[in-house]
Amino acid sequence: MTVKENYYNVEDYTELYKSVGWEPIALENAKIALLNSVYSVSIYDGDKAIGFGRMIGDQIRFLYICDIMVRPEYQGQGVGRMIMENILNRINEIKKLEPRATTYLGAVSGKEGFYEKFGFKTRKEDGTGEGMVLH
Ligand SMILES: CC(C)(COP(=O)(O)OP(=O)(O)OC[C@H]1O[C@@H](n2cnc3c(N)ncnc32)[C@H](O)[C@@H]1OP(=O)(O)O)[C@@H](O)C(=O)NCCC(=O)NCCS
């Protein structure tokens, strides 16, 4: 397996999206989204994209983890952990520059336990109120 940081292949990203049952956005818009990421990690098995995750935000104070996905046939084998550990390494570098750097994410229902493994807690547990969303 190969780990590629800040590598953006819109076709692979879109294909991975479909593999986990999500509806991808148009390629030209996905390209804009990816190129505006703060950090990303892509996992490949040979030429095949098998996992991806990225972080968006203002680089220093507020960060947001999104698009964490592992191709179904590779799930349960530590690929998600590999993605998260790379992202957490980047967060720790940012926190050396700004200790108050704060990272958010919106867990898909049933995936909260995955993120808890890496120290995330719900805003309720954190005593900071509900997260909110606008579609
Ligand atoms: C969520 C997802 C990224 C996890 O990836 P994965 O490669 O299967 O995860 P890993 O095998 O690396 O698991 C890492 C750890 O998290 C745990 N874990 C994985 N999914 C979990 C879940 N839904 N609930 C609780 N724990 C979970 C594993 O048991 C493992 O624990 P361990 O390291 O202590 O043994 C993957 O299931 C996925 O892509 N799902 C579809 C897309 C999705 O829902 N993404 C999340 C969006 S918020």
**Closest C-alpha residue for ligand 1 atom 42:** 69
102: enclosing H helix or E strand: strand 102-105
**Once rounded to an integer, what is the mean pLDDT over residues 115-124?**
96
Residue 3, class by beta-carbon neighbours within 10 Å (0-12 exposed, 13-18 middle, 19+ buried)? middle
Residue type, 81: R
Q: What are the pLDDT digits (tens) for 58-117?
A: 999 999 999 999 999 999 999 999 999 999 999 999 999 999 999 999 999 999 999 999
The amino acid that residue 63 corresponds to is L
Say what the pLDDT of residue 126 is: 93
Mean pLDDT (whole number) for 28-33: 98
List the domains of the chain with CATH numbers. 2-116 (3.40.630.30)
Long-range Cβ contacts of 110-114 (<8 Å, 24+ apart): 114/80
d(CA 55, CA 52): 11
Residue 80 Cα to ligand 1 midpoint, Å, equals 6
pLDDT for position 2 = 98
Kindly give the number of the ligand 1 atom that is closest to the alpha carbon of 22: 42
Give 44's contacts (C-beta < 8 A, 6+ positions apart).
Answer: 1, 2, 4, 50
Mean pLDDT of the region 11-40: 98
pLDDT of residue 98: 98
Ligand 1 site residues, Cβ closer than 6 angstroms: 20, 68-70, 75-81, 107-108, 110-111, 113-114, 117
Distance 41 CA to ligand 1 centre (A): 16
Under the banding of pLDDT at 50, 70 and 90, the label for residue 132 is: very high
Whole-number percent of the chain with pLDDT over 90: 98
Let me know how long the chain is: 135
For a mutational test of ligand 1's pocket, the pick from 114, 116, 133, i.e. the residue with the most ligand atoms closer than 8 A to its C-beta, is: 114
How far is the C-alpha of 35 from the C-alpha of 8, rounded, in Å?
7
Atom 12 of ligand 1, residue of closest alpha carbon: 78
